[in-house]
Structure 1
């Protein structure tokens, strides 16, 4: 038994990928977010997990969700609270291991995600991101750990977020495996790098289309 959780926002212009505008328009930013989410959900759909949970902020009708997913609304509060709530929602459906990822790493694959799930020899896994955050977090038994103590008040969206989160896990005495470092999409440079890492993806196509009219860097 295992659950793969995707925590995501509906791709509404002006509410997603705001750090990309400018030079992209809010509509282009939303298009990039939609493509990244679609690629992510496709990878999750191919991974061998018993349950797939989409914790969504926004209107479900704005997202094309593959079959086999349970869609739940995100809780209120900051991202730290919403991450904890997503693990609690997953544990209510299935008490087994759970892995959580965001929508900003469309280069992930099903086999990679399967390899990231905590095993019986581990309490947790964490995938650090190049910008100092983290792109994935997993617990072998979410009900057996104190999610509030592990996640609450970890400063999000900083260049030390991943290090602080890893420190919380290790300070609690958990057996932690660190996963491959990935680059997520927050800046213009990230768009080009992630598109190059997944050239056949929807995200790469959206990035190429959005970038076509931008000035060429000197």
Structure 2
């Protein structure tokens, strides 16, 4: 039940949210899962995760505040379909490493905002909202991942130094980023630890999670 105010239901908070995603091109996404799923199967899983992520995002904030930052094939039919169906914006990810691309997405926002990928199945509207509200008191917010990386970054104002000298794709990412934040003197919030889908056992974990949710 939604809380009532003297003027009616409380409006849902809308906040800037960027989703970084590759086009579901067989052989170029979820490559560590190709031995298990094949190129086509890995691409289908990637697309399924992207659609799931966008569904969660649309429940957390309004479509006009969501930007899908595209990679590989910027005019892929999946991207065009999602933009037309949901009214979200599409923008091409710039050249550079992951840190530069996240920094650019944050800089493109008019104020504080969040950046996520498309392979974390445990994100929820409530968790995204918690991260957004954490920025009211913190300089930055992260959702550390079990593999040593992170699934979400948010800042009140982005600073490229936060993303420099990071060994992207390794288990050292979050630890190195914490050091960058300390060097900046930033107060960082860590609302929760999450996990993403990179290995065959992650698929099985997601299937168990979905099965439990369907039974509840």
Deviating 4+ runs (over 3 angstroms) = 198-201
Aligned residues: 194
Determine the C-alpha separation between the residues in 1 that align with 2:49 and 2:123. 10
1:140 to 156, 159, 169: 156
Aligned to 1:62: 78
Aligned to 1:15: 28
CA drift at 1:32: 0.4
Determine the C-alpha separation between the residues in 1 that align with 2:112 and 2:87. 18
TM-score of the aligned structures, taking structure 2 as reference length: 0.83
Aligned to 2:117: 102
Equivalent positions of 1:37-48 (< 5 A) are 37-48=50-61
CA contact (8 A) 1:154 1:161 kept: yes
Aligned to 2:129: 114
CA contact (8 A) 1:4 1:52 kept: yes
Q: Which runs of 5+ in 2 are unaligned?
A: 1-13
Determine the C-alpha separation between the residues in 1 that align with 2:210 and 2:19. 19
- What root-mean-square deviation, in Å, do the aligned CA atoms of Structure 1 and Structure 2 show? 2.0
Aligned to 2:97: 78
Moved more, 192-201 or 79-88: 192-201
The alignment partner of 1:106 has SS state of coil
CA drift at 1:78: 1.4
CA deviation vs aligned residue, 1:52-94 (integer Å, no higher than 9, x gap): 11111123323342523111000011112111111122x2xx2
The alignment partner of 2:51 has SS state of helix
Determine the C-alpha separation between the residues in 1 that align with 2:203 and 2:183. 34
Q: Which runs of 5+ in 1 are unaligned?
A: 205-218
CA drift at 1:200: 8.4
CA drift at 1:121: 1.2
Greater RCO, 1 or 2 (C-alpha within 8 Å, sep 6+): 1
CA drift at 1:111: 1.5
Determine the C-alpha separation between the residues in 2 that align with 1:113 and 1:199. 23
Equivalent positions of 1:146-157 (< 5 A) are 146=159, 148-157=160-169
Determine the C-alpha separation between the residues in 2 that align with 1:87 and 1:74. 12
CA drift at 1:141: 2.9
Determine the C-alpha separation between the residues in 1 that align with 2:96 and 2:150. 19
